[in-house]
Amino acid sequence: MMRLTRPLRYGGLAALILACIGLLTVAAVNIVRIERQMQISATENMTWIFGQTQIEALNLAAALSNNAEPAEVQLRFDLLVSRLNLLRDGPQWRFLSEAGLAEGLMGWRDGLLALDPAEGGDRAALAAHVAALSTALRGKASRVMSREWQIQSERLDSLGRLHLLALATVLGALISGTVLAALLIDRERRLIRSKMDQLRAKQLERDLDQERRTSEGYRRFSDLIAHQVRTPLAVIDSAMHRLTRPGNPPSPEIIRAKAEVSREAVARLVRLTDTALLMARVDRGAVEPDLACHDLDRIAAAAIEDLHESARALKTGRVILGSGNRPVTAICDPVLTGEILANLLRNAFLYSPPGSDIDVRPMQDGELAVCDISDRGPGMTPEELAVAFEDFARGARHRDLPGSGLGLPLARHLARLQDGDVTLAPRAGGGLVARLILPGAVTA
Amino acid sequence: MTLTHRLCSCLLALAIIALAAPRAIAESPLLTLTGAVDGGLVEISRADLDALEWHEIATSTTVTDGRPLFRGVLMRDILALAGARGETVTARALNDYVIDIPVSDFHEFDVIAALYMDGTALTPRDKGPIWIVYPRDDHRVLADIRYDTRWVWQLVALHVQ
């Protein structure tokens, strides 16, 4: 169906365009022909030319009858001959021949020349000849006039016909142009409608995608709750159960140990809640960074100290703050930056083997302030790196380690809020380098 | 007297007559200019015209077939010769045909006062002695009745104003 209608539609359009051009060409040709025909030329003034001949015949007759001077008679004679010669010339002669008025005229001229006064022609005979010529001319004059008007009328008729034809073709072009315009407008409308449909389909697809991501997020969130909330709760529950078991009351050492385990479990829950809440605030754009110049070494040192205090249980390795010999100044919000570093450090601790070192190295890199946190853990596979910054994305290998799966996405969000970024790269010799990049203050 | 002598003297006599005859014609005025010209009246003879530069125009006309070759002098040269100062020239023919021609025509176009058509001298029995000829084929604008009426034939007088 489509295959058949398309050539038909294009064929119709092409035919309309050709019709328009053709009709306009015909109209233009007609208008040019009208313009050509509208010129008047002196040849068409035959009535006047013929009248002049008559007048010169009468003038010569008058000169002869008035016994005028020979010079005057000669002048009038010459003028009459010149008028007859004029009638004999191309266009005039054709006019007279077509009107059937040429016959005999040249006989009159020859008769006149035979009586030329300059060659001693007889005046009386000349007078008689001129009188007869005048009569003959009078008889033809009205027919010359009528013939001339007939020609003019025919020309006007022809002009009128050309004019009507031009008008009709212009009207035809107007009609086909209107149809063409209507067709083109219709096509344009259909095109726009199909474009709108396409846009709407794309929008729907986007919405669907968003919906899918959201539901995936919920699924991950419920997974997270299942693991990360239930584990500390189970730890607390188990501790409480031990302390309240009937039989021998627990020794003070056991009570202290169980209390410590419970407090750590509570601390994990609190941290989880804090991270989730901060992420929620970042998501709805409620976090306003307070940007100023700060020493990145000091922020890193503070973050390390906090971590040591809160995470005694980790008891793993040591953090080495490798400051350079020049201070590293970053344009940042110290609280948000501290949060980022704490997240990155916690990750490094989480994934490092016990007893291994973690390097924290703030440095200036051109106009950027950079802080690398390198661990000697298992590192990440390229697949894990690709999704590391997605919400709730936790490596399949580490599902049972404590953590929200929000740490890295939150760190990156907070860095970007300060015109910076967080990137991950494998460490030479094994492990992972998490890099915080912030705009640096150019130091003199 | 030998035959050769007689022949020689005969030829000499003919030569004298041949030279004298055009001289007589050359002296009589061909064209009379009046109005704003030197001294109010200037008579132009054939000798005066011969002293000017001659030009040729091949052009179609409204009253003949083909494209005759006209020979004559430029109208503006004639007006300059007579010291004409004016905007309009009223041309008059032998039969008292009178028409006004703007002097600007003669400056815009190479209008000539033709004395010859296709090598034949124009006479009063044709359109002579002088026919004002416009270069009709060289300028589209000249193919118009308003210019056709200015082709005065049998021209004898010009009144400048």
pLDDT at A121: 78
Whether residue A82 and residue B64 make contact (CB cut-off 8 A), yes or no, is no
| Nearest CA distance, A167 vs chain B (angstrom) | 27
* Of A38-52, A67-81, A378-392, highest mean pLDDT: A67-81
- CA pseudo-torsion sign A163, A165, A170, A171: positive
Residue A396, classed as helix, strand or coil, is helix
Residue A117, classed as helix, strand or coil, is helix
Checking ipTM against 0.85, whether it exceeds it is no
CB of A377 closer than 8 Å to CB of A431: yes
Distance CA A189, CA A183 (A): 10
CB of B99 closer than 8 Å to CB of B150: yes
The per-type count for chain A, helices as H runs and strands as E runs, is 12, 7
Concatenating the DSSP letter of every residue in B100-119 gives EEETHHHHHS--EEEEEETT
Which percentage of chain A shows pLDDT scores above 70? 91
Mean pLDDT of A129-153: 87
Whether residue A85 and residue B125 make contact (CB cut-off 8 A), yes or no, is yes
Closest CA to A296 of A356, A351, A357, A373: A373
Which residue blocks in A325-437 are alpha helix, DSSP H? 334-351, 382-387, 407-417
* Of A27-36, A230-239, B44-53, highest mean pLDDT: B44-53
Asked if residue B26 has pLDDT above 50, the reply is no
> Which one-letter amino acid corresponds to residue B64?
T
Closest CA to A155 of A42, A38, A35: A38
pLDDT at A315: 52
CB of A303 closer than 8 Å to CB of A345: yes
**Cα→Cα distances A21→A24, A35, A166, A177, Å:** 5, 21, 13, 10
Distance CA A186, CA B127 (A): 70
**Preceding amide of B129 cis, omega within 30:** yes
pLDDT band at B24 (very low <50, low <70, confident <90, very high): very low
DSSP state of A228: I
Tens digit of each residue's pLDDT (9 = 90 or more) over B113-143: 999 999 999 988 888 889 999 999 999 888 8
Option in A40, A43, A75 nearest B63 (CB): A43
pLDDT at A217: 72
DSSP state of A67: T
pLDDT at A438: 92
Q: Give the residue, B10 or A322, on which the prediction is more confident.
A: A322
Distance CA B46, CA B27 (A): 7
Residue A361 parent element (H or E): strand A358-365
Mean pLDDT of A345-368: 84
Mean pLDDT of A16-21: 88
- Interface check B62 vs A, CB under 8 A: yes
CB of B111 closer than 8 Å to CB of B134: yes
- Interface check B127 vs A, CB under 8 A: yes
Mean pLDDT of A428-437: 88
pLDDT at A280: 78
Mean pLDDT of A164-185: 91
* Of A256-270, A306-320, B50-64, highest mean pLDDT: B50-64
pLDDT at A309: 73
In degrees, rounded to 5, the angle at the alpha carbon of residue A163 between the alpha carbons of residues B63 and A12 is 135
Closest CA to A274 of A162, A404, A425: A404
pLDDT band at A442 (very low <50, low <70, confident <90, very high): low
pLDDT band at A151 (very low <50, low <70, confident <90, very high): confident
Task: Retrieve residue A58's tokens.
Answer: 């009468």
**Contact residues, A window 32-51, toward B, CB-based 8 Å cutoff:** 39-43
Distance CA A357, CA A361 (A): 13
Average pLDDT, chain A: 84
- Interface check A79 vs B, CB under 8 A: yes
Q: Which residues pair with A430 in a beta bridge?
A: none
**Cα→Cα distances A4→A62, A161, A189, A379, Å:** 90, 43, 21, 62
**Which of B28, B61, B63, B156 has the most A C-beta neighbours within 10 Å, making it the best mutation to test the interface with A?**
B63
Which percentage of chain A shows pLDDT scores above 90? 16
- Interface check A110 vs B, CB under 8 A: no
Asked if residue B18 has pLDDT above 60, the reply is no
Q: Give the residue, B13 or A9, on which the prediction is more confident.
A: A9
Residues in chain A: 444
Q: Which residues of A239-252 are buried (b: 16+ CB within 10 A; e: fewer)?
A: beeeeeeeeeeeee
Torsion angle of the four alpha carbons A342, A348, A349, A355, in this order, in degrees rounded to the nearest 10? -140
Asked if residue B107 has pLDDT above 90, the reply is yes
CB of B38 closer than 8 Å to CB of B83: yes
Asked if residue A397 has pLDDT above 70, the reply is no
pLDDT at A406: 74
| Nearest CA distance, A82 vs chain B (angstrom) | 4
Closest CA to B101 of B34, B159, B52: B159
Write out chain B residues lying below 8 Å of A112, CB-based.
none
pLDDT at A395: 57
Distance CA A337, CA A296 (A): 9
Distance CA B129, CA B113 (A): 9
Asked if residue B1 has pLDDT above 50, the reply is no
Write out chain B residues lying below 8 Å of A81, CB-based.
125
Whether residue A43 and residue B62 make contact (CB cut-off 8 A), yes or no, is yes
Residue A440, classed as helix, strand or coil, is strand
Question: Could you tell me if residue A8 is left (phi over 0), alpha (psi between -120 and 50 degrees) or otherwise beta?
Answer: alpha
Q: Give the residue, A167 or A389, on which the prediction is more confident.
A: A167
Q: Give the residue, B78 or A387, on which the prediction is more confident.
A: B78
pLDDT band at A392 (very low <50, low <70, confident <90, very high): low
pLDDT band at B10 (very low <50, low <70, confident <90, very high): very low
Mean pLDDT of A127-140: 88
Asked if residue A40 has pLDDT above 70, the reply is no
Asked if residue A115 has pLDDT above 70, the reply is yes
pLDDT at A271: 81
Tens digit of each residue's pLDDT (9 = 90 or more) over B63-77: 888 899 999 999 999
CB of B85 closer than 8 Å to CB of B38: no
**Cα→Cα distances A332→A285, A406, A407, B54, B127, Å:** 17, 21, 19, 100, 108
pLDDT at B17: 43
Q: Which residues pair with A293 in a beta bridge?
A: A331
Option in A41, A78, A89 nearest B125 (CB): A78
Q: Which residues of A105-131 are buried (b: 16+ CB within 10 A; e: fewer)?
A: beebbeebeebebeeebeeeebbebbb
Residues in chain B: 161
- Interface check B124 vs A, CB under 8 A: yes
Torsion angle of the four alpha carbons B136, B140, B145, B146, in this order, in degrees rounded to the nearest 10? -90
pLDDT at A398: 61
Residue A196 parent element (H or E): helix A123-224
pLDDT at B53: 93
Write out chain B residues lying below 8 Å of A92, CB-based.
63
Task: Return all residues near A306 (Cβ < 8 A) that are at least 6 apart.
Answer: A338, A342
Question: In this complex, how many residue pairs, one in chain A and one in chain B, have their CB atoms less than 8 Å apart?
Answer: 51
Task: Retrieve residue A56's tokens.
Answer: 């010169």
Distance CA A54, CA A57 (A): 5
Whether residue A89 and residue B65 make contact (CB cut-off 8 A), yes or no, is yes
pLDDT at A203: 96
Which residue blocks in chain B are alpha helix, DSSP H? 3-27, 46-51, 75-81, 104-108, 145-148
Mean pLDDT of A299-314: 75
Asked if residue A12 has pLDDT above 50, the reply is yes
Mean pLDDT of A406-414: 84
- CA pseudo-torsion sign A106, A107, A108, A109: positive
Mean pLDDT of A388-416: 73
Closest CA to A151 of A36, A44, A33, A31: A44
